[in-house]
Amino acid sequence: MADGDSTRSVRAGRPAPEQYTPELPGPTFAAHFHLSGEATGPYTYGRDANPTWTLLEDAISELEGGGTTTVFSSGMAAVSAAMLSLVASGDTVVMPDDCYQTTRALRDRLESYGVRVRMAPTADDAQLALVEGARLVWLETPSNPGLDVCDIARIAAAAHDAGALVAVDNTLATPFGQRVLDLGADLAVASDTKSLTGHGDLLLGHVTARDPELAAAVRTWRKTVGAIPGPMEAWLAHRSLATLGLRLDRQTANALALATALRNDPLVTGLRYPGLASDPAHAVASRQMRRFGCVVSFTLPSRDVADRFLRALRLVGEATSFGSVHSTAERRARWGGDDVPPGFIRFSCGIEDADDLVADVLMALDAVR
């Protein structure tokens, strides 16, 4: 019988029991290692590999359902590696035009290298029309911050028929929300700054691939550009994985409770949460997701109303990012770059008691009516 998610997250990547040793060895701080003779072996230089990274990478690979994982110093380091290590001048990359804005900003860099970029929305599998002749198809589902969803298996099958690779930014869902490699993706990519580590206290990212050549290309890119994580960050991330299943279950339940409470509020428009049966993405999300994530988005009537709402919240911090155990929210348009209204709110549900969280949000809404 297969182990459940929390059982796997507690045990993932941990070494076999050994007398008088900790369950999870402490971080290895090393710029170099003792190395006589030929420069071979698992640990030769601190930019190439580190035992603390190895344990974390093995753990994430288990959660992703196999393959080889490479961890990076941030989510964007992982995104950049997945894109830039696999394309060359003359290639074509297909990207969603509503994905994370810093990912979209890579378009200029790709085009400066002679790579052609085609863009289409996430919703309605619009990227399907662009896969012919592409080298890489990039998906982000659910999209950030709009929470649109595309059919990974459908697009991956079409992309592979056209000779293209498929990478999926799985940051919002995590491997416990959807297993993108099982759905046909060649690369699973994530900012582990967010839900995977889930405490809002470190920056990290990863790329997982089952094809050894793709995994080697990504790992060589990390070595070449030096986008390596610190050993302490890697150790903290591995420690945090143990509670991943628990955190996601509570966050998902809280997000559904909040979305349900907001459905009929006259101040709220454009409510999105893939876990709601009424959400436009629910049918596709239900086929490929096991948990619908912690993020709820909605729009308030104006920038002023949104700012006053955020200030009125008692339990929710006003901050960017998402996936922390602490609930956070922000008026997303303050950053620019996203096609959202001035009053658009991206709300990340933490692990507070659902009744308390919903009451706090409703109280803040009442304060700005």
Catalytic residues: 47, 100, 169, 194
CB of 291 closer than 8 Å to CB of 316? no
Interior CA angle at 263 toward 292 and 350, to 5°?
45
CA–CA dist 322, 347 (Å, integer): 8
φ/ψ (deg, to 5) at 291: -140, 145
- For residues 46 and 1, the answer to whether their CB atoms sit within 8 Å is no
Strands 295-299 and 269-272: antiparallel
CA-CA distance, 30 to 245, in Å (whole number)?
Answer: 32
Cis peptide before 142 (omega within 30 of 0): yes
- Say if residue 9 is exposed, middle or buried (CB neighbours under 10 Å; 0-12, 13-18, 19+): buried
User: How far apart are alpha carbons 148 and 297 in whole angstroms?
Assistant: 11
Cα four-point dihedral sign 96, 330, 339, 274: positive
How far is Cα of residue 97 from the mean position of the Cα atoms in its chain?
A: 17
Contact 175, 69 (CB under 8 A): no
DSSP state of 32: B
* Residue 208, token pair as written in the block: 């997982």
Structure tokens at 336: 């620019």
With tokens 């297969």, the residue in question is 2
Q: Which SS3 state, helix, strand or coil, does residue 314 take? A: coil
CA distance 221 to 205: 14
Contact 171, 145 (CB under 8 A): no
